[in-house]
Chain A
Amino acid sequence: MLRTWFKGILTYRPGRLLGSISGVALTVALLASLGAFIASAGASMTQRAVQEVPADWQIQLSHPSDAKAVKAAVGKATPYTALEQVGYADVKGLIATAGGTVQTTGPGKVLGISAAYRANFPLEFRQLVGANQGVLVAQQTAANLHVKPGDRVSIERVGLPPSEVIVDGVVDLPNADSLFQAIGLPAGAAPQAPPDNVLLLPDAQWQRIFGPQAAVRPDSVHTQFHVRIGHVLPADPAAANQFVQQLAHSLEARIVGRGIVGNILATRLGSVQADAAYGNVLFLFLGLPGAILAVLLTMAIASSGANRRRKEQALLRIRGASVQTIIGLEAIEALIVALGGVVLGNVLTLAIHRMFLPGNELIGKSALFWTVSASLMGFALAIAAILYPAWKEIHHSTVVSAQATVGRGRKALWQKVYLDILLLVISGVEFWRTASTGYQVVLAPEGITTTSVNYEAFVAPLCFWLGAVLFSTRFLEGWMSGGRKILARMLNPVARELSGVVSSSLSRQRLLIVRGIILVALAVSFAVSTAVFNTTYNAQSHVDAELTNGADVTVTGSIMSAPSTRFGELQALPGVAAIQPMQHRLVYVGNDLQDMYGIDPQTIGQATNIANAYFVGGNAQGTLAKLSKQPDGVLVSEETVKDYQLKLGDKINLRLQNIKDHQYHVVPFHFIGIVREFPTAPKDSFLVANRSYIGQETGSDASEIVLMRAKGNPEALASRAKTVVSSLAGAKVTDINSTQRTISSGLTAVDLHGLTRLELGFAVLLAAASTGLILALGLAERRRTLAVLAALGAKKRQLGAFVWSEGLVILTGGSLLGVILGLGVAEMLVKVLTGVFDPPPEVLSIPWGYLVLLAAAAISSTAAAIFGTNRLFHRPAIEEMRGL
């Protein structure tokens, strides 16, 4: 009997079977792919964090004589791949004579490094001019002293006479913050600014110069070990952080009293940990609704055969089949769906993996865990969708009759207790609560190794989603029940003389129709919310990258080798839409050295986007016009305004370096506005003034930055610009695409593009399935009704009126509701996940192209289902009836 049943299912129910298998496969593939993404994102974040750290540990020795013992202790605590001894010496200043003038700097640091240091820790410094060995001077120091390779610099030692060295090269110190960090400060202490003046000497020379200083002023000289440990770390950033901390603690226990460990790798992993948590939150927010939708879709597909299943069960029971036999027979269908769905789902996962995560191993531990979990979920879903309703049918047939899809129906329990309203109220309250705490979804307190996710923040969007869906169900059921006349009027163009009877028919089948509308709405809302969130994220990421990079392509250099000297050549490059010079000088505000940008306010906007949000008052055009009218006007950052208690209109005296005597002189400015952010400017303190005024007051109108707007590909333009400025010492060309990929936010480590491409793909599939498949299965269930109509004499157009009306009601209602719901969820997600954005978006970005594609998929799917049903009308009605 089982064999006959099995054959019968395959022969007579291929449509429903394939539909259910597809639903289970989608669920399995979505869950497994999401899991693989979470696992691979965590691993790549850890990997990137490790790669970005210049030196994992900086161990400060209590006394140079402890070096041997500490080195041995490091080897015992963990295997390492590099260990370098570095000398640090404080100096009173540096002096150089250039162009007939004497330049003197303030206090600085002189480091002693071995010849192998650069090879072992390549991220610590970057060669700009001259040799990469010998006496190296930091770029800013070289600018302050006006020295170049071959010049002499006198080092003002502490407690000893000066010592002179000859400069071999100029270098950039991109990781000065960690290189000069204060080791041993308590967690959460204010960060220490790196020194303005830095010189690097070969270790032997350093020993000769500062050995005597260590004898007279031991407090001014100290020794560090810079260590790169073996990078066999757990893939998850949190676990890796904990592991690295444990290693450091182990070392600290071994070298108590001899040194302290600056754990730079753990600090970096700690910050990545928060990003990873955000990444997981994103996966959850964006991915989970898709998985829920796939489950609902499978349930809907499976239940579309409920009437037929009910009749089959009745026949089996009449012929004496036991409950056990009936369940056994239903289990065959469940098993076919489960096996088919899981196999197809895993094949799909493999294809997705190859498409979106090339190069990543799918056979990792975590990937295997997700694949197995998703497959088990697929099995559970098949059983829940097919076996459970069958079991319920047998045991509670009266309940089934009460759940008839046609009829006057009774209110469901959730409707009686107003669960929808309750959920919406909870959502509102929770949203308000989350907003009041500044949308802190991921909590990563300084100095604490664990990062926690505030899961309460999920409550608002989840309740909104559920509440809105239930409320929509209530509203639609009510409207379809009472608004028959309006529906008839709406269907008139399609159903014409039958509009009344069609609207009555749809109204009485409202449970089915509303279920279809809600499924379409869920699919569309999932697609819309994901797409809108993704587009907004990308747009903000672009804004962030543009702020950081300055423009599509930015050329930066120093006043001595200013890119503005190549302005004409750069302007003539193919692919340049607009070009603007911008000065970048250092200015003393009181005793603080801050960045000052000199611009032409009237034309700067041609080369880069100047957003309203950059200025307090939100009026970029107005603010720049004001600056243009007042030559000595200056825009000051919020932080500086606060620190110096400035008021609009105040005259402020700043000190700027003059090119003629290389000395800082007072230059008066008038404070005319507050600037929040500006292209290339740091986030905290900076100033923006007129380029012409700065040029006039400093004796040089050279611009250290050139901003270029690209007509086509910024990377191609950047490559051309590099050839133009290649002869300028230290000139650097960056483009917005590369910047966006590498810096904009820690979250770029999460392959959000891969995730969203995957989700958007799934969303289109789910939308197509929920429109077309559900409609087709619903219509297939009503083949008998349509055959009776044909037998009564309905023409093809009249039969089409029934089918088209149902399809259009489901498609239009579901799409409209879905778009509203999707925009609501996207708005809420953007608010709740505000920490992901830098800067936060002012408005949502709408992905019109994707929405058109989504609409096309839904419409095509609906049309395919309707035309498929229409094909049935070509067969004689009685033949159709006989076959049912």
Chain B
Amino acid sequence: MIESLVELQNIGKIYWRGDAEETALVSATCSVKPGDRIALVGPSGSGKSTLLHLMGGLDQPSTGSISWPGLGTCENLRPQKVSYIFQMQSLLPPLTVVENVELPLLLGQIEATKARKAALETLNRMRLNTIADKLPEELSGGQAQRVAVARALASRPQLILADEPTGQLDHPTAQHLFDVLLDSLEGSETALVVATHDQAIAERMNTIWQMQHGVMEVVTC
């Protein structure tokens, strides 16, 4: 039996806005296995990002339990076992493209020369080597997100969590970015969970998890 990378049991998440309680997630139970391609769809505020944050260990659940049988403990997930791709521009402004890409490797205490080599290889693979020395402010929105994808891939993680990575891009650019991401993962056991509003992107995944008012429903498997 293949061991799950992450397992969620009756997970609930409540936020407090002052004295008001806001339920973001209600009793979600699911798991992600190696090689999974999962799309998380649903309207804004339905709990997609919350679920991703919990899966990546970026946040703590209010109820239920979460474990990472195939990855280890929560403290050791990032940056090497789990990578994150954010919707908003998340490259560090004072670092060049190659420095941004090698950053998770350095944070994972990979030797500097090896980190640089791996980062350059990733950029080459994604045909971004020409912009390796550019600063984020010198990139277009599409280029910046491609670099963010490269950064997520560089450390060869077992799980990639992408929170609406194409949300700020036009449709062709979004498709192209997704092509790049899927191509890069072709044949790899790295699982991918993508929160998206884009139906076309969702349809390219194996599984779709539908979110509605914090309640999750598996649509396709």
Complexed CA–CA distance, A406 and B95 (Å): 9
User: Is the beta-carbon distance between A792 and B104 smaller than 8 angstroms?
Assistant: yes
Residue pairs across A and B with Cβ atoms less than 8 A apart, 15 shown, are A406-B94, A407-B135, A497-B106, A498-B106, A498-B107, A500-B112, A501-B103, A501-B106, A505-B92, A508-B135, A509-B94, A792-B104, A876-B58, A876-B59, A879-B59
Q: Interface segment, A319-327, A370-378, A783-791? A: A783-791
User: Is the beta-carbon distance between B92 and A793 smaller than 8 angstroms?
Assistant: no
Complexed CA–CA distance, A879 and B90 (Å): 15
In the complex, chain B residues whose CB is within 8 Å of the CB of A501 = 95, 99, 102-103, 106
The listed residue (A500, A506, A791, A876) touching B86 by CB distance below 8 A is: A791
Residues facing B in A376-419 (CB within 8 A) are 404, 406-408
Complexed CA–CA distance, A879 and B93 (Å): 21
Complexed CA–CA distance, A323 and B135 (Å): 32
- A486 close to chain B: CB less than 8 A: no
Chain B nearest CB, measured from A798 CB (Å): 6
Q: A407-B137, A497-B106 provided; 16 other pairs, C-beta below 8 A?
A: A406-B94, A406-B137, A408-B135, A497-B111, A498-B106, A501-B106, A508-B95, A785-B92, A789-B103, A789-B107, A791-B86, A792-B78, A792-B84, A793-B77, A793-B104, A794-B79
Residues facing B in A203-256 (CB within 8 A) are none
Chain A residues packing against B (C-beta within 8 Å): 404, 406-408, 497-498, 500-501, 504-509, 785, 788-789, 791-795, 798, 876-879
In the complex, chain B residues whose CB is within 8 Å of the CB of A794 = 79, 107
Complexed CA–CA distance, A879 and B108 (Å): 23
- Which among B77, B111, B135 has the highest number of chain A CB atoms within 10 Å? B135
Chain B residues packing against A (C-beta within 8 Å): 53, 58-60, 77-80, 82, 84, 86, 90, 92-96, 99, 102-104, 106-109, 111-112, 135, 137, 151
User: Is the beta-carbon distance between A793 and B108 smaller than 8 angstroms?
Assistant: yes
User: Is the beta-carbon distance between B95 and A798 smaller than 8 angstroms?
Assistant: no
In the complex, chain A residues whose CB is within 8 Å of the CB of B86 = 788, 791
User: Is the beta-carbon distance between A793 and B95 smaller than 8 angstroms?
Assistant: no
In the complex, chain A residues whose CB is within 8 Å of the CB of B137 = 404, 406-407
The listed residue (A504, A792, A793) touching B96 by CB distance below 8 A is: A504
User: Is the beta-carbon distance between B80 and A497 smaller than 8 angstroms?
Assistant: no
The A/B interface has a contact count, at CB < 8 Å, of 76
Complexed CA–CA distance, A597 and B67 (Å): 96
Complexed CA–CA distance, A642 and B28 (Å): 105
Chain A nearest CB, measured from B184 CB (Å): 18
Complexed CA–CA distance, A509 and B94 (Å): 6
Chain B nearest CB, measured from A514 CB (Å): 14
Complexed CA–CA distance, A793 and B137 (Å): 23
The closest CB in chain A to the CB of B52 belongs to: A878
Given A504-B96, A509-B94, A792-B107, also A497-B112 (CB < 8 A): yes
In the complex, chain B residues whose CB is within 8 Å of the CB of A506 = 94
Chain B nearest CB, measured from A451 CB (Å): 55
Chain A nearest CB, measured from B107 CB (Å): 5
Complexed CA–CA distance, A498 and B99 (Å): 11
Given A497-B112, A792-B107, also A504-B99 (CB < 8 A): yes
The 8 A-B pairs of least Cβ separation, nearest first, read A793-B78, A793-B79, A508-B94, A505-B94, A878-B58, A406-B93, A878-B53, A509-B94
User: Is the beta-carbon distance between B104 and A878 smaller than 8 angstroms?
Assistant: no
Complexed CA–CA distance, A791 and B104 (Å): 10
In the complex, chain B residues whose CB is within 8 Å of the CB of A785 = 92-94
Given A505-B95, A876-B58, also A791-B107 (CB < 8 A): no
Complexed CA–CA distance, A509 and B95 (Å): 10
User: Is the beta-carbon distance between B60 and A876 smaller than 8 angstroms?
Assistant: yes
Chain A nearest CB, measured from B79 CB (Å): 3
Complexed CA–CA distance, A720 and B141 (Å): 86
Chain B nearest CB, measured from A793 CB (Å): 3
Complexed CA–CA distance, A181 and B137 (Å): 82
The closest CB in chain B to the CB of A788 belongs to: B90
User: Is the beta-carbon distance between A792 and B79 smaller than 8 angstroms?
Assistant: yes
The closest CB in chain A to the CB of B108 belongs to: A793
The closest CB in chain A to the CB of B53 belongs to: A878
Complexed CA–CA distance, A656 and B130 (Å): 99
In the complex, chain A residues whose CB is within 8 Å of the CB of B58 = 791, 876-878
In the complex, chain A residues whose CB is within 8 Å of the CB of B79 = 792-794
Complexed CA–CA distance, A507 and B95 (Å): 9
Chain B nearest CB, measured from A59 CB (Å): 80
In the complex, chain A residues whose CB is within 8 Å of the CB of B78 = 791-793
Complexed CA–CA distance, A785 and B96 (Å): 14
Chain B nearest CB, measured from A872 CB (Å): 15
In the complex, chain A residues whose CB is within 8 Å of the CB of B108 = 793
Complexed CA–CA distance, A879 and B99 (Å): 25
User: Is the beta-carbon distance between B94 and A793 smaller than 8 angstroms?
Assistant: no
The closest CB in chain B to the CB of A799 belongs to: B107
Complexed CA–CA distance, A877 and B53 (Å): 10
Complexed CA–CA distance, A196 and B179 (Å): 112
In the complex, chain B residues whose CB is within 8 Å of the CB of A792 = 78-79, 84, 103-104, 107, 151
User: Is the beta-carbon distance between B104 and A504 smaller than 8 angstroms?
Assistant: no
Chain A nearest CB, measured from B157 CB (Å): 10
In the complex, chain A residues whose CB is within 8 Å of the CB of B99 = 501, 504
Complexed CA–CA distance, A407 and B103 (Å): 19
In the complex, chain B residues whose CB is within 8 Å of the CB of A508 = 93-95, 135
User: Is the beta-carbon distance between A497 and B109 smaller than 8 angstroms?
Assistant: yes
In the complex, chain B residues whose CB is within 8 Å of the CB of A497 = 106, 109, 111-112
Chain A nearest CB, measured from B72 CB (Å): 13
User: Is the beta-carbon distance between B102 and A793 smaller than 8 angstroms?
Assistant: no
Complexed CA–CA distance, A558 and B112 (Å): 86
In the complex, chain B residues whose CB is within 8 Å of the CB of A509 = 94
The closest CB in chain A to the CB of B93 belongs to: A406
In the complex, chain A residues whose CB is within 8 Å of the CB of B104 = 792-793
Given A792-B79, A793-B78, A793-B108, also A504-B94 (CB < 8 A): yes
Complexed CA–CA distance, A876 and B59 (Å): 6
In the complex, chain B residues whose CB is within 8 Å of the CB of A876 = 58-60
In the complex, chain B residues whose CB is within 8 Å of the CB of A505 = 92, 94-95
Complexed CA–CA distance, A794 and B103 (Å): 9
Complexed CA–CA distance, A406 and B137 (Å): 9
In the complex, chain A residues whose CB is within 8 Å of the CB of B77 = 793
Complexed CA–CA distance, A500 and B107 (Å): 12
In the complex, chain B residues whose CB is within 8 Å of the CB of A789 = 92, 103, 107
Complexed CA–CA distance, A500 and B113 (Å): 11
Chain A nearest CB, measured from B178 CB (Å): 21
In the complex, chain B residues whose CB is within 8 Å of the CB of A793 = 77-80, 82, 104, 107-108
The closest CB in chain A to the CB of B91 belongs to: A788
